[in-house]
Amino acid sequence: MTSILFTSVRVFDGVNEVLSAPSDVLVSDNAIERISVAPITAGSDTAVIDGGGRVLMPGLIDAHWHTCFVGVSAPVALTADVGYIHLIAGREAERALLRGFTSVRDCGGPSFALKRAIDEGVVRKPTEIGFPVATDYLALATRWRHVADALNQFWDGVPETLNVRLLRIGDHRTPLQLELTRFAASRSALANLHFSVTAVADSLKVASAADEQSLRVMVVGDSTSVILASALHRVAASVDVLWIGANGCPVVAVVGARSSTDEPWQDLACSPTTPAVAEQLVVFKPDVVVLMVSGVELLHQRYPGDEADHIAGDPQFTALHDDYMRTLTALLAEHDVPLLIADCPQLVASEFVREESASPKRIALWNAQVQRWIESSPNVGLLPYAAAINDRQQLNPQEAVLLDGIHADVDILVELVRAQLLDVIVAAAAGFWRFRSTDLV
């Protein structure tokens, strides 16, 4: 008898409107034998799957499905060889299963041959060992491309008037934008939306090789830091990356931002990241924390209870940011975790970066504050991001290092991380500071 024990799952049975309390579910010979809120003891021949608090539900049933036509256009269905149509149908059957549909009612089409192939195991099923093959990185990357293509197709269909743009400072921040940002960051695969299949396969291969001996890096900041987190993730299997932050938010609490005094305020609801950092210091246990914010700190800011306009260098801006840094460094000191702060490179005026924000004077004011933080704490060092970006731009003037004037090209940043920045992070984690009083650009 083959048994599977699902532990710590919340059961949706299709009848009750609420999920069950955390439960164990024992399945024997493809039938549910027992559901219990008390732990069920697994037998010696029982496979155990830890649900981790996730939802366990019955398989979905699609009552109107066309197995052989869902994956092709009408002209292809009418003109293509039936063998080709069956191959596409096999792929679509697998996709339907991965979406949670365990049964479909086919309402027309030559589907009996495919059913026979599935029943006989010619078409692979999830019950087979190695489905999908965990080390088949090219196949996994190809599946990711299907997801990315679907996301891109959806994205292209969003009306421009909604201003739904991912990782662009100054646009209306919608729930969809925030969710996609969190999705990208949590997967450490932000730029995979535009990578080739080969590049994604390499990224997956790197991720799969990570182990408990990995260097744990917590990256904190705005959308520019998501790019850095992705680059670190791609560089080496020995680097485990966690990103904490919010797109379009500085490190302090703000209720509004704008690029210049002649523009209207954009309403924001940004809170400091320190509570999330405190939680992950216990859960993730980073070896080093990297703080990276740039464009949003060059904007005009308005704070809770303060209607005045503040920019880098003015007393209130400086005081609030200093308070944040004191809180953050004290928190990291309790856990003996070093902090690296990335400075801001020379931005490029564009549709997304106004001339005022990209001015060397404004950038110098922000970098001066970063420099003071580094000099005032023994546990804080510099991640020379500005020097790496600026030098690359000077060496290759025709190269779009900052794609939209503020966000680095991920492939280029991977090269810079591998050649320069990773050594600094490793040294900081080991307690050896290579960059202490370096002049910021």
Q: Is residue 129 part of a domain?
A: no
Over range 45-59, report the average pLDDT: 87
| pLDDT, average across residues 210-222 | 76
Please say if the pLDDT value at position 82 is more than 80.
yes
**126 domain residue, yes or no:** no
Which residue reads 């496979």 in tokens?
Answer: 47
Average pLDDT, the chain: 79
Q: Tell me what pLDDT residue 365 has.
A: 93
Tell me: do 187 and 242 sit in the same domain: yes
CA of 266: how far to CAs of 50, 200, 257, in Å? 44, 36, 5
If one counts the domains in the chain, the total is 3
Helix residue spans in 70-195 (DSSP H): 74-79, 82-98, 112-119, 137-156, 175-187
**CA distances in angstroms from 337 to 283, 287, 331, 380, listed in the order given:** 14, 6, 9, 10
71/214 same-domain check: no
Q: For residue 400, what are the domain limits?
A: 137-430
Within 8 A by CB and 6+ apart from 26, the residues are: 3, 4, 5, 6, 32, 33, 34, 35, 40, 46
Q: Is the pLDDT of residue 391 over 90?
A: yes
The residue-averaged pLDDT of 289-303 equals 90
Nearest to 344 by CA among 247, 215, 250, 259: 250
Lowest mean pLDDT among 169-178, 334-343, 429-438: 169-178
In a 13 Å sphere around the CA of 322, the CA atoms on its Cβ side amount to 14
Report yes or no: 20 and 5 within 8 Å, Cβ to Cβ: no
Whether residue 218 contacts residue 286, with contact meaning beta carbons closer than 8 Å, is answered with yes
Q: Do residues 42 and 166 both lie within one domain?
A: no
Selection from 96-100, 180-184, 311-315 with the highest mean pLDDT: 311-315
Q: Flag whether 67 is in a domain.
A: yes
Residues 148 and 79 in one domain: no
In a domain, 83, yes or no: yes
